[in-house]
Amino acid sequence: MSLWIEAFNSDFWYACIGAVLFVIALYAFIVSQPLLKKLLAFNIMGSGVFLMMVGLAQYQHGPDSVPQALVLTGIVVAVAATALALVLLRKWVLSGGQP
């Protein structure tokens, strides 16, 4: 237990929050019925992973540009993927599919 208390700073705390977000978003991704909600859950899963990446890389060394740059790339790819998913979703709904 002392290991946890020693390591506990705000970076590690946010990494833990990221892990919790990932787990609940994963649950919601499987359970939720509307496709839009699945997409939101998938986005939050991604945010959880980003928080873990930055938090775990930083909790010993302080601010680190390398994981931050990778996460920046990740955020932009995530928004492009979301926009593309929304285009597919609209096309699917407009051609008579169930949202």
Partner 1 sequence: MWFDVILGIGLIVAAVGVFRSDELFRSVVFFVTFGILLALTWLRLQAPDLALAEAAIGAGLTGVLLLDTLGVLKKPAAVKFNLAKHTLATIVALGAAAGLAWSFWTLLQLPAPTYNLVKTLAANIDDSGVSHGITAVLLNFRSYDTLLEVAVLLVAIVIGLGLRSGIRQGELRGDVNTPEQKSPALLKSLVHVLVPLLLITAIFVLWAGSTRPGGAFQAGALIAAAGVLARLGNIDIATRVNFLLRTGLTIGVFIFLLVAVSPMLTGYAFLAYPSGWAGLLIILIELMLTISIGLILLSLFIHAPHDKHNGGSS
Touching partner 1, residues 30-69 (CB under 8 A): 30-34, 36-37, 40-41, 43-44, 47, 50-51, 54-58, 60-66, 68-69
> Considering only residues 72-91, where is the footprint of partner 1 by CB under 8 A?
72-73, 75-77, 79-84, 86-91
- Residue 62 zone, left/alpha/beta (φ > 0; ψ -120 to 50; rest): left
Instruction: Kindly state whether residue 16 participates in binding partner 1, applying the rule CB under 8 A.
Output: yes
Tokens (6 digits) for 38: 């699945």
Nearest distance in Å: CB 58, partner 1: 7
Beta carbons of 86 and 39 less than 8 angstroms apart? yes
Fill in the amino acid letter for 62. Answer: G
